[in-house]
Amino acid sequence: MPGVIRHLLAPVLPAAARALELPRTLPDGAGVALSFDDGPHPEGTPSVLEVLSRASARATFFLIGEQVERRPALAAEIAAAGHVVALHGYRHRLQVRLSPSAVREDLARGAAAIEDAVGAAPAWHRPPYGVYSPAGLRAVHGAALRPLLWSRWGKDWRRFTTPGRIAARATRHVSRGDIILLHDADFYSSHGSHRKTVQALPLVIAELRRRELDTVLPG
């Protein structure tokens, strides 16, 4: 499989992710990791935090640097609540369209925005769309960031989906070690999509609890 094609397929093809040594699941399989991309969002992120707090659930938030700069207090609130703050990039751009230097700059600016907001540098990274370029993956390792994709997703960014469909898709065949991808923001997806995610999240957590699966953080 050619290198660039393999990078493009990694988010949806486990064999491609394994070839690139990109984790899609948790190695210890202690529970299930909830993850949220694209925030922080002024409406979606607080609503997601409220649902998580009520359920005593933990999650990982892959934040966009330019949104963190607009709402640093909200990024700090995520960390203060005991969740993991991770890097999704400074801007939401497909890495394969960027030069190696542009990718490195994006990582550095995004990480700096998060560190300024929460007082600690991020340890984890997930690229927009889940797609690494060869140069981007080298840059992530060079920045001492750990890549992390996902194994289950709700496809909650879709315009015509429903909370029930999001929850059913996210939890279908879910098992220990899985990583669920959701979004707490609609900056780069269908307008208002985060509201459906917020409605779906209690259903997701309830199904995990029914299966006796704890929500855990990457470690």
Active-site option among 41, 83, 125, 183: 183
**Percent of the chain scoring above 70 in pLDDT:** 98
Count structural domains, the chain: 1
Look up the CATH number of the domain holding residue 11.
3.20.20.370
Q: Which structure tokens are listed for 10?
A: 């990694």
Q: What is the DSSP string of 193-219?
A: HHHHHHHHHHHHHHHHHHTT--B----
User: Is pLDDT above 80 for 92?
Assistant: yes
Active-site residue flag, 37: yes
User: Is pLDDT above 50 for 140?
Assistant: yes
- 195: domain range? 3-210
Residue 6 binned pLDDT confidence (cut-offs 50, 70, 90): confident
Please name which of 131, 139, 147 lies closest in space to residue 104, comparing C-alpha atoms. 139
User: Is pLDDT above 60 for 188?
Assistant: yes
Q: Which helix H or strand E contains 62, and what residues bound it?
A: strand 59-64
Average pLDDT of the segment spanning 66-91 = 98
pTM of the shown model:
0.96
- Flag whether 217 is in a domain: no
pLDDT digits (tens, 9 = 90+) for 155-187: 999 999 999 999 999 999 999 999 999 999 999
- Flag whether 130 is in a domain: yes
- Flag whether 216 is in a domain: no
- Flag whether 31 is in a domain: yes
Active-site residue flag, 183: yes
- Flag whether 218 is in a domain: no
User: Is pLDDT above 80 for 7?
Assistant: no
- Residue 3: the pLDDT is 57
User: Is pLDDT above 70 for 1?
Assistant: no
